[in-house]
Structures are given as structure tokens and as C-alpha cells.
A and B are shown apart, each in its own frame.
Chain A
């Protein structure tokens, strides 16, 4: 999916946001909306980074804290806290970030692979590193954010749960 777009479009637009002083990017085509923080309903037995579910115009949408997902310290949520709603294979989920910055064009050719950082940093959720205006932007792999280990843990707890289709 990503490859196809890279082939046809000269640049990929990324929505950049900041998280703990670093800049991240998420492909704009997967962004559905940006909204302020609102209270969510906690889900029992969910991992700690999964804050709960939110009513998004009638759809019950899970929301995760990206800081917690990356093993960072939790920020308190306030008026400046922003939630980016992304869609992966028709599934919606919200990610809570510190602030949304900009929309930038990234040349797919300039994307560099993430170096192996060993155990210090969790790089599983990154697609690659890009440079924009001499700043490094870490490109988020939203498909991997909700999975795979979520599904795995759930399956061990609930053997009966159907496999969920992972985006192709």
C-alpha cells in the first residue's frame, strides 16, 4: 500500500507532531481528524498505554497515549493535548501526542532506515527517518501501533477471538 503511493506520488505528505521534544510524522492520508483531548472510557484488561475508548460520532474508537506506548513518562492532559485520529484498514484509533506541528512533504527517496538502536529505544513502530528543514522526523508506522502484540496477548487470553485482519 505504502509502496504503491511512493511509486506514483513524488512526495509523501506527513503530518508532524511533537512528543517529548522529538518530531514525528504520520502519513497524512491515514489521518482522519485532529481533535482536542476529551475524556475516554477505560477498557478493562487493556494495556496501560490504551487510555480507553471515545465516542467519535457514534463510533467507539480506542485511544492510545503515544508517550506510554513508547515507554515515556505520562504527561497530564490539558487543553493543549492533541489527539490525532488515524485509520488503518478501516479501523480508527486515536493517538494522544503533545502537539501537532506542521504538514511537510517528504521525498520517499530521502527516507533512511532506522538504525538498530538495540534495547534502548523501541524502533518497531517507525517506518524510517526523514529530514525536513534540517530536522529529523521519525516516520510513524501506524499499522504497527495497534499491533501485533496487542492481538497476541489478547489471543492468549481469549483463544476464541477471531484473528483480526492486519492491513496488507
Chain B
């Protein structure tokens, strides 16, 4: 209802067309050889980031909770999947041992107990959701019960992801230290270096993205969505309308963490590596920039932001490696100053400018207005 009638009329069909393109057209073109494997793989990565961006916007744009640690949940999801993939390497590793290479290197002779269940794919998949979800539940419970809000919440989430990164950098955590996990071979028996496997992973990612956007669309249009936005705009009023806002915030925080984690779990087998640098605060900040650039408080905006910024990054880090951060910072400043609604708000912004110009031209044309009335309204 907020967007102009023209944009809302084309929104639905446009979203469906985009979904069909990502889920069907892209992989079909890849299978036919029109899109090379490298590009499809790159897009798989972008879409994972897109899912994380939606998760951030669910908190920031819709609930007013700016989480600066979302990449932590993304990485944890990736690590949980990575543990399974590490065990699937088996004796194919550099040390020809059943243990992951980094454990052999550190002098371990047997698999730590907490690694053993990760031989099971269903267990690893469950942990992808349970571990980040539980962390979000405990952290969110403590933060929201103490009524930590605004910038304090943001700083705490940043501290949380920084602390986790420091922890994961340590070798004695037995999670691969600063090298993390890499050199994956198979997933569910399929060779990860086979383009067909990668294409299936890409399709899974595109489906997860479409499912996430569809699910969030439903969520934000339910009464829950009304309450979410009410909390964003006036949390006190919501409390005085009888809603336990802390529970609502906790619910959305956990959901958002699990969405990001699912994206991370698909990211790892496609990118082939996960290490603690993915948890450092700058990764989360970068993801917040995607959301801001794409358009906060919308569902397509964060996806557009994540894809376009990362495509720009892929190009710029090759063409102008020294300038990338300046390009990123500069485009952020430009968008904040001139495009408050982000890329997604651009069509409405341009049509607004056109109507204003047209009105001004009508106002200044001699036969319609007396000369004195042609000043600004």
C-alpha cells in the first residue's frame, strides 16, 4: 500500500519472473553451456548472501533491530555443514587419515567426541539450525529481557561476532583454527568438484532464496508483521497495547539467525571453504550495507543489494583491487544521500521527479497560470 499503484501492480509478476529466472533459466542455460560454471557458482554465492541480507532486513528494516553480527549465524551454519563435509573427505586428505587434516597436523590421533555425530548428514543439517538458533535464543533472551535497544543492541551483536571469531581462530577449539575447513570432496556421495553437483547446489540455493522471500512476505503481511513494524516505530506503545514485545523480538531474532545459517550451510559446499574471517565484524557490516543499498524494509531490496554489490565487488577486486573499499564506501554515501529508499526505491523516486517537473512546466506555462502564482507551493 505504501508504494505507488504502478509499482505495486507490477511487483507480483516481476517477483515471479525473477524467481523463474533464478531457479530455472540460469541453471538451464548453464546445462546448455551458455552460462559457464564459474559464473553459475559465483551466482550461487551471491544468492547465499541475498538470503542473509533478507534475514538482516527482517530484523533491521521490519523490526528496527540492527544486528551487526548476522554473519556469525551465517558462518555457524557453514561450520556445521563444514564439519560433515570434512568427515566425508575420509582418507583422501593430504595425510591419508580418517581424521581431518588439521587434526593430524595438530597431533590428534582420535576424533573428538563432539565431531562423531557429524558423520550423519541429517544430524549436521539439524545442527545447522539448532546451533545458531540456540545461540540467538540465549543471546536474544538476555538482551531483550534487559530491554537492550538501539545502538546498544547493535554494539553487543558486533561484540558477539567478534568474540566468536577470536574463539574460532584458536586451534584448541578443534574447529580448524584460522585455516578453517576446506578441501571438501563429496556431499551425499556426489563429487563437489563436478559441475552437475554444483548446479544442483545452485538450484537448492535459488529455491531457498525464493522460499525465504515467499515466507517472509507471508510473515510480514500477517498480524505478526503489523506488530513487528509497530515495535520498530513505537515499542512502548506496543507494550501498552498488551504485547510482550521481548518475545516477539526473540522469535524474529531466532528465525532470522536460522535463515542466515541455512544460507551459510549452502555457501560452504559451493565456495569450498569456511574460516573465522567470515565471522569478523566487517563481514556483518558489509551485509548491512547490501541491505541499505538495495532498499531497507522491502524483501526484494536486500536481494538486489546483495547481488549487485557482490557482482560489483567481483569485478572491482579484479579490475581495481586497491579501489574496492573506496567504491563500496562511496556508493554507500551516495545512496544514503540521494537514494534514501535504496535501489528498489529508484523507480518511484524517478517517477516522482518526473511528475514534479511536469507539474512545474504546467505551472509555468503562460495560459494556465497568472504570472504571480507561478512561485513554489
A binds B: no
Binding site for B on A (CB under 8 A): none
Binding site for A on B (CB under 8 A): none
